[in-house]
Chain A
Amino acid sequence: MLRKESSNVATLDEHGQPVALSFADRLGGQQWFFAFKLLREWIDNILDIYKPELRRLLWPLFVYCYLQCAADAYSRDARDFFSTYSKFFEEEHSDDLRALSGIDLPEHVQENEVATIYRENRYRLTLSKMAFATLIEFLETKESEGGKQITFLITNHLLLRTVDRAALGGARSLQRLMEEKQGEEQAPAEDEGIPGHHPGSANLDPNATSALNRLALGPLPMEPDLMEDVKAELTTEDLLHPPPPGRSSLSEQFEQRIKTEPLDDTAPPRDAIPFPASTARDVAMEVQKVRENRDRFRIEGKTGGVGPGVSVTMFTFHNTFDSVNCIEFSGDNTLVAVGTAESYIRVWSLEDRALTSPQDPPGFQPSASRRLIGHSGPVYALSFSPSAALPEPRTNGHIHTTTSPDSQPRYMLSSSADTTIRLWSLDTWSNIVVYRSHNAPVWDVRFCPHGHYFVSASADRTARLWSTPQIAPLRLFVGHDSDVETVAWHPNGAYVFTGAGVGDRTVRMWDLVKGTQVRIFTGHAGNVTAIACAPNGHIVASADDKGTIILWHLRSGRLIKRMRGHGAGGIWSLDWSVESTVLVSGGADQSVRIWDVQPQKETYAKTNGDVTKIDGATVGGGNTSVSKPSGGGGGKLKGREQATPDMISDFKTKKSPVYKVKFTQMNLVMASGAYLP
Chain B
Amino acid sequence: MSVWNPENVIDVAESVGIASLNKDVVEHLARDVEYRMSQVLNEALKFMRHAKRTTLTTQDVSQALRLLDVEPLYGYESTRPLRFGEASIGPGQPLFYVEDEEVDFEKLINAPLPRVPREMSFTAHWLAVEGVQPSIPQNPLTDPRSAELAAKGSGANSTLAAISGNDNVSVKPLVKHVLSKELQLYFERICSAVLDEGNDEYRSAAFVSLRTDTGLHQLVPYFVQFAADKVTHNLKSIFVLSQTMQLLDALLDNKSLYLAPYVPGIIPSVLTCLIGKHLGSPAQDGATTHFALRDYAASLLSKIARQYASSSSTLKPRIARSCLKSFLDSHKPYGTHYGAILGLTMIAGAEGVRALILPNLKAYDMHLLEGMNDDSKKEQAEYVVQALMRALEMLEEDVVAMEGLTQTNGHPEGEALSERLVDAVGGVLAPRILASGRQSFISAALEKDLDV
Contacts and interface: CB of A to CB of B under 8 A. Distances in A.
Contacts of A570: 49, 52
Nearest to A586: B127
Interface of A: 75-76, 79, 98-99, 101-105, 107-108, 112, 305-322, 324-326, 336, 338, 341, 346, 348, 350, 377-378, 380, 417, 440-441, 443, 459, 483, 485, 501-502, 527, 529, 545, 565, 569-570, 572, 588, 592, 594, 634, 636, 641-645, 647-655, 657, 659, 669, 671-672
A429 B326 CA distance: 65
A647 B123 contact: no
Interface string B37-80: 11100100111011111110001000100010000000000010
A657 B53 CA distance: 9
B138 A314 contact: yes
Contacts, number: 187
Nearest to A596: B160
Contacts of B79: 321
Nearest to B139: A654
Given A102-B37, A107-B32, A341-B59, A317 B49 contact: no
- By DSSP majority rule, is chain B's interface helix, strand, loop, or mixed? mixed
A102 B55 CA distance: 21
Contact of B140 (A305, A483, A654): A654
B133 A651 contact: yes
A316 B122 contact: yes
A440 B32 CA distance: 25
B49 A527 contact: yes
B32 A105 contact: yes
Given A107-B32, A652-B140, A443 B153 contact: no
A314 B152 contact: no
A275 to B, nearest CB: 31
B119 A310 contact: no
Interface string B6-47: 000000000000000000000010011011111100100111
A636 B153 CA distance: 9
Given A313-B126, A645-B153, A649-B165, A322 B53 contact: yes
A102 B120 contact: no
B183 interface: no
B154 A643 contact: yes
A529 B48 CA distance: 13
Nearest to A444: B50
Contacts of B37: 102
A310 B54 contact: no
Nearest to A441: B67
A135 to B, nearest CB: 34
Contact of A641 (B59, B118, B149): B149
Contact of B52 (A104, A308, A572): A572
A314 B155 CA distance: 29
B128 A312 contact: yes
A531 B420 CA distance: 93
B127 A592 contact: yes
Contact of A102 (B38, B45, B50, B123): B38
B124 to A, nearest CB: 5
Nearest to A341: B51
A643 B117 contact: no
Most chain B CB within a 10 A radius of its CB, from A108, A324, A569: A108
A650 B150 contact: yes
Contact of A319 (B120, B126, B154, B155): B120
A277 B159 CA distance: 51
Contact of A651 (B51, B122, B128): B128
Interface in B76-129: 79, 117-129
